Amino acid sequence: MPIKIFTWYVYQKTISVKKKSELTELGKYLILKSANKAEIYRKTSITESRLSLLSNDASTKLSGEELYLIALALDVEPGDMAKTIYKGVKLNSIADQEALAAKSRKQKR
Residue 18: predicted pLDDT: 46
Type of residue numbered 96: D
Residue 21: predicted pLDDT: 65
CA atoms within 13 A on the CB side of 97: 5
Give the separation between CA 31 and CA 52, rounded to whole angstroms: 12
Give the separation between CA 13 and CA 11, rounded to whole angstroms: 5
Angle at 42 between CA 65 and CA 61, to 5 degrees: 35
Give the separation between CA 10 and CA 74, rounded to whole angstroms: 32
Decide yes or no: CATH 3.40.30 for domain 24-108: no
User: In tens digits, what is the pLDDT along the chain, a chain of 109 residues?
Assistant: 455 555 555 445 544 554 556 899 999 999 999 999 999 999 999 999 999 999 999 999 999 999 999 999 999 999 999 999 999 999 999 999 999 999 988 887 7
